[in-house]
Structure 1
Amino acid sequence: MRLYSVLFACLVLVAVVFAGPVAGPALAQSATAGSSSDQTSPIQIILQENRWLIEKSSRRTIGPAIAAVATSGLPQARSVLERWQDRALYLRKSDGRFFFAEASGAGGERLIDIATGADTGPATRQELEQLRPNSGVRALIGAALVPFQLTDPDPAVRSGALDAIARDAAPGHLEALRGAIATETDPGLRARKERLERLLTIAYAPDPADRIAAIESFAGDLGVDVRAALNPLVATTRAVAPGAPPGDENIARRLSPGSDALPAAEAYRLLVEAGLARPRISAADKRNALAAHIENGTVAGLPVAGLDSDEARDRAYAALEDQGLVPPTATEAEVQAALDAHVFYDRYAEPDPSVTAAAEAALDAIAFKVGLNQAVNLSLDALSLASIYFLAAIGLAITFGVMGVINMAHGEFIMMGAYTGYVVQQIVPDYTLSILIALPLAFAVTFAAGVAMERLVIRWLYNRPLETLLATFGISVALQQLARNIFGTQARPLTSPAWLDGALHLNDVVSISYIRIAIFVLALLFLALFLFIMRRTRLGLEIRAVTQNPRMAASMGIDPDRINMLTFGLGSGIAGVAGVAIGLYAKVTSELGQDYIVQSFMTVVVGGVGNIWGTLMGATMIGFLQKGIEWLNPGNTLAAQTYMILFIILFIQIRPRGIVALRGRAAGD
């Protein structure tokens, strides 16, 4: 048995020896068949040539490797960059080849040929090195992908590519963008591509005529991107040259040392920085240097007592300089001679004068149009502020005009309305529905509070303005403290609905928030409602009758006390609605009303006491006046308020009854 085993082993050994030369090449061929095409594929060769950069990638060094792939023109370039960016590119440690990889069920990875996309078999994670580019490298890869994405079938991808170019444009994007315009089917994306192509033409086109044409096409365009493209063309740097400026420089202006544009000290500093003159030291440093070299009452052989003038100190310092004891410095005569021997100028960063001339002309046209649009934007701001003041003052105009009551607690009714809106939002989480509920509820709450205040306090103080003012001021303080006790001192949020978020942008200069638009519309609605009540209802007829002649109205069967009560309640209710509107953008605190009580009184007095049209005109005038003063004196709201009050005082001296004078009791007739 043992003999048969030995013979069998010998036969197997002989078979292996004779079969080896035949089977070996076949096995080797089959082992390399799956990789030979990939090993010699152009994309694999490029990656192999840049293997060290890819493995040790950083934002500073990876550029050549990314550029080699992106500019190769190979069909696999985009997929390699995308997989690399997504950290799906792997390096096999055994042979240094690059693969795509997908997770397999066995806990390893399945390798994908980067050239053909074929499955090349499994590999364990220990056999592979995953390439993990950091955020900086991924950003560079993303920039390299932009030209590929410009022609992607997905509009969202093309839009993202345009956003990427707008954020970080490069010279190579220009031709890719031009090539992508002709194939663009989406009108919006085509317009964006054409605009971006013109912007890149300004920055990177080699032909000055193309750049000038692109610049001129943007004359008067208000886009921030246009100004960002044009401003570098007219940017200047200060330079100095001996004799005359170089002939190949695009000079913006020549400067004279000692002028406002170029002080002499700055001019000499330019000479020193350019290595064209010796530095100067300050007088204090010169004195310190002389003091440090006093020996036996002398400095460089000159008596200390004689160093009582600048000339003497200069001579002593020069002597020390000759001995090498102090740093060299320039004298006044040397400074002046150096300034006279050199020319100073500002030069454009853009070397072509025709391009800078076109850019300056375009920027001048843009600046003029920006100024006009800023005036429009300022007017919209003033109009929105006027609508806020009108809402805050309309209730006061009613009570003050009809009843002659100086209600210092009017601001607290605004505050009560804002807190009513806040409470409603705590119960009704839907912001749109809560605002719709809060507006009438705020009117009801403040109407009831106004009626109670009139019945309990105001009715006993008619025709006693000082006592009325003091009483309503006391009520104002009490209501503020009550609000603090209930809601605390922290500001409470009154959140606007989502559809009021953001702003309406007419262009890059003119915009107005949707909340301001809503308040403006609300002010118009209340104006229309007030006019309807006053002119189309019996209550309005009775209010007008009491306003003009209360005794005659009483003789006609109208109850003045009832009209006073309803009028005061109506004015208070409108203040509550104004509080909801104001609370949507202002902080809701117990002091909210105090921020508007002064403006409300000014609006009523300037417009004309008790006249709704006068209140509207007064609010408009104060809104425009305040915004105009703030524009002339930006960042100083207190000064704007002061100037506005002074102007109103002067205005009242000219028109003591306001813009629209009222007939009747409130006017003193």
Structure 2
Amino acid sequence: MNRTLRAALLLLLTLPATPAIAQNAALSPIQALLQEHRETIETSSRRSIQPAIDAIRDSGLEAAPLVLEKWGEREMWQREADGLFFYAEEVDRDTLEVFDFATAESIGTYPEDDFDQLKPNSGIRALIASALVKFQLNDPDPAKRRDALAALARNGNESHLPILRDSIEDEPSAGIRQQKERLERLLTISFGATEEERIAAMEHFRGDLGVDVRAALNPVLTSTTEVVPGDAPPEGENVARVLRPGSDALSEVAAYELLVANDLAPRRLTGADQRNTLAAHIDGGRVGGVDLALLSDPDARDRAYAGLVAAGLAPPAATADEVEAALDAHTFYEAYRENSEAVTDAAREVLRSIERKVAFNQFLDLTLDALSLASIYFLAAIGLAITFGVMGVINMAHGEFIMMGAYTGYVIQQLIPDYTVSLIVAIPCAFGVTFAAGVAMERLVIRWLYSRPLETLLATFGISIALQQLAKNIFGTQARPLTSPGWLDGALSFNDVVSISYIRIAIFVLALAFLAFFLVLMNRTRLGLETRAVTQNRSMAASMGINPDRVNMLTFGLGSGIAGIAGVAIGLYAKVTSELGQDYIVQSFMTVVVGGVGNIWGTLLGATMIGFLQKGIEWLNPSNTLAAQTYMIIFIIIFIQFRPRGIIALRGRAAGD
């Protein structure tokens, strides 16, 4: 008796070691629900787990989202002693701090060996995440609601549609409400209960440029290639189109393979298969009941093979005539996976409206790209246009002044780490460096070669090579980055089709600024007046007291300085190398020649024409940029035959020089 009392007392003393978690948990409605689906949860099979997840999600219990969240994060544990569920955090390698789902409060620390961790696989975790959307859509935190909408946009299914609809009415944020309404219509396209409901959702997106709309509509129009005996598709099929074997949409080989796959015809008999099969079944000088001496005849080989088929020694196979007959006896067609013809018709019509709007916006996007490219060519060519027009000098080293400007910007960035400040400093520095280099080149080389264009071309070409080699010796052959400020990162997007980077917008604005600068310079300053006078008639300008040599020097330096600024702008989106200028010298000369030598408006029109022409050719032939350059040069050659002096030719006596 005493022994029994001692055992009972010992049992009572040990009860706190397994505290009242079982009692509390058993009284908890969420624990009762988990125990109800305990076997399913323990099994953790993706095929059978959905009812348990749905029961937790739809229970209306306050602890339901916590259970799903911890389960999906693999922080849900089951106590081995009684199968109750908790969530826990590891204190150390062998100890857990256990929490009650009902109260979310810590119950104590326990050995990890007393619990089994639930480790749902990726498929079950996806189902849990899908169930959590119901709670996330109504979460007080707007960021979590947006995250839930993003998750629905990626993996939304039919079960989410009523949940999403229920959350719209009480949504406090106008922006998030708009997102929910849009997503509700997108899900309705795929999972709406009636045809009318789905068609109405589609009509709402007529002309919408969103990629998500096309992603929702395209699956409605997915089709499969089918084949049936007879002359027409079966009644009740939603047929996209009838296919003719041998057409671009369905080759004869693919059509017959479809017949074989559907057990509507034997496999095709090729000559090699026939010969190999016959050779494998030669028996006593005969095969398939036909003498070997007769097998040179194709008909005899067919009879021999047919004999092997009849004897069960070879699989049935079709001859060429049988293949043709089988193709003629069947109808091939594409059938929509969507059974409703009204739904597919509506989806097709809405997609047509979207494609028309996409085409228009692609044209706008191409126009923006062309204007952006034109602004780059204008910056690169504006200095060349002035020097070429005033001095008649073919400066093959103009591209190297662009390269020098880009390297100047790179050096400034190494000295000033703030990219905004360094860019502001780099522009005048690049102008100063290349202006000085241009003046030095004009004083040392060009001034001795006036009226000798061939020697000038050869001399400047040699200077170009020398400057490239000098840049390689100083900076090496590795490309150097000219980093743009943070406020130039990204792009200005008008919709999902039309966008332009902020760097290109900045270059476009810079080009307009230089256009205004040159108009003021040429029309409102003494240097501009003298430059125009020398351009029109050098001898008459000299007789009026203008020093042509001084004008030439300043003009050449000015053109070179502007090339340096263009180099800074170009270096913001192109890698700075010693060959940077060579990528723009040809386009610069084409811009000047097409626009009209020595005319700022002609240069602007020439750059615009070259930019649009290049982008248009690249759009027609996007896989071959070299071909685009070739076609563009051919077009320019033809253009010059009809307008040898460019779009805007010089007026006055110089026009006849």
TM-score (norm 2): 0.93
Query: Which entry has the higher C-alpha Rg, 1 or 2?
Result: 1
- Between the aligned partners of 2:305 and 2:447, the Cα distance in structure 1 is 91
1:475 maps to 2:469: no
Shift of 1:130: 4.2
Q: Relative to structure 2, which stretch is displaced further, 235-244 or 497-506?
A: 235-244
1:438 maps to 2:451: no
Note the 1:154-553 alignment, pairs <5 A. 154-243=141-230, 245-294=233-282, 298-304=286-292, 306-553=294-541
Kindly report the root-mean-square deviation, in angstroms, between the aligned alpha carbons of the 2 structures. Answer: 2.8
The SS at the match of 2:268 is coil
- Between the aligned partners of 2:549 and 2:562, the Cα distance in structure 1 is 20
Structure 1 match to 2:637: 649
1:609–1:666: 8 Å Cα contact kept in structure 2?
A: no
Q: Number of residue pairs matched? A: 656
Per-residue CA deviation, residues 445-485 of structure 1 (Å, 9 max, x unaligned), is: 00000000000000000000000000000000000000000
- Between the aligned partners of 2:14 and 2:458, the Cα distance in structure 1 is 108
The SS at the match of 1:422 is helix
Letter matched to residue 26 of structure 2: Q
- Structure 2 unaligned blocks of 5 or more: none
Shift of 1:97: 1.3
**Which of 566, 584, 600 is equivalent to 2:572?**
584
- Between the aligned partners of 1:444 and 1:205, the Cα distance in structure 2 is 68
CA, structure 1 residues 310+606, in 2 after alignment: closer, same or farther (shift >3 Å)?
Answer: farther
Letter matched to residue 407 of structure 1: N
The SS at the match of 2:334 is strand
Letter matched to residue 476 of structure 1: S
**Which of 70, 76, 81 is equivalent to 2:57?**
70
The SS at the match of 1:472 is helix
1:387–1:620: 8 Å Cα contact kept in structure 2?
A: yes
- Between the aligned partners of 1:118 and 1:301, the Cα distance in structure 2 is 88
1:547–1:664: 8 Å Cα contact kept in structure 2?
A: no
1:386–1:623: 8 Å Cα contact kept in structure 2?
A: yes
Shift of 1:554: 1.5
2:288–2:306: 8 Å Cα contact kept in structure 1?
A: no
- Between the aligned partners of 2:316 and 2:650, the Cα distance in structure 1 is 83
The SS at the match of 1:663 is coil
Shift of 1:634: 1.4
- Structure 1 unaligned blocks of 5 or more: 1-9
- Between the aligned partners of 2:36 and 2:378, the Cα distance in structure 1 is 74
CA, structure 1 residues 232+309, in 2 after alignment: closer, same or farther (shift >3 Å)?
Answer: farther
1:234–1:350: 8 Å Cα contact kept in structure 2?
A: yes
Q: State the percentage of identical aligned residues.
A: 67
Per-residue CA deviation, residues 616-645 of structure 1 (Å, 9 max, x unaligned), is: 111111111111111111110011111111
Per-residue CA deviation, residues 108-153 of structure 1 (Å, 9 max, x unaligned), is: 5443321244554442444334445566654443222111111111
CA, structure 1 residues 14+340, in 2 after alignment: closer, same or farther (shift >3 Å)?
Answer: closer
1:547–1:665: 8 Å Cα contact kept in structure 2?
A: no
- Between the aligned partners of 1:181 and 1:562, the Cα distance in structure 2 is 75
Shift of 1:665: 7.0
1:254–1:345: 8 Å Cα contact kept in structure 2?
A: yes
Shift of 1:249: 2.5
Shift of 1:25: 9.7
1:626 maps to 2:631: no
- Between the aligned partners of 1:280 and 1:304, the Cα distance in structure 2 is 23
- Between the aligned partners of 2:28 and 2:630, the Cα distance in structure 1 is 79
Structure 2 match to 1:4: none
Shift of 1:33: 5.9
- Between the aligned partners of 2:551 and 2:15, the Cα distance in structure 1 is 109
Letter matched to residue 379 of structure 2: L
Letter matched to residue 214 of structure 2: R
Per-residue CA deviation, residues 343-376 of structure 1 (Å, 9 max, x unaligned), is: 2221101111110010000011111111111111
TM-score (norm 1): 0.92
Per-residue CA deviation, residues 287-329 of structure 1 (Å, 9 max, x unaligned), is: 3333444566654344555444543432232123223332211
Q: Relative to structure 2, which stretch is displaced further, 100-109 or 258-267?
A: 100-109
1:563 maps to 2:559: no
Per-residue CA deviation, residues 50-89 of structure 1 (Å, 9 max, x unaligned), is: 5466557576775554334223333221011122334443
Q: Relative to structure 2, which stretch is displaced further, 245-254 or 467-476?
A: 245-254
Q: Relative to structure 2, which stretch is displaced further, 235-244 or 416-425?
A: 235-244
- Between the aligned partners of 1:517 and 1:153, the Cα distance in structure 2 is 40
CA, structure 1 residues 180+485, in 2 after alignment: closer, same or farther (shift >3 Å)?
Answer: same
Shift of 1:511: 1.0
Per-residue CA deviation, residues 2-49 of structure 1 (Å, 9 max, x unaligned), is: xxxxxxxx9xx59959x979x999998998865334225442234335
Structure 2 match to 1:7: none
- Between the aligned partners of 2:105 and 2:489, the Cα distance in structure 1 is 51
Per-residue CA deviation, residues 251-300 of structure 1 (Å, 9 max, x unaligned), is: 22223334443333322221110112111121222233334445666543
Structure 1 match to 2:129: 142
Shift of 1:203: 0.6
Letter matched to residue 272 of structure 2: A
Letter matched to residue 333 of structure 2: Y
Shift of 1:432: 1.0
1:610 maps to 2:598: yes
The SS at the match of 2:368 is helix
Shift of 1:342: 2.7
The SS at the match of 1:253 is strand
1:152 maps to 2:139: yes
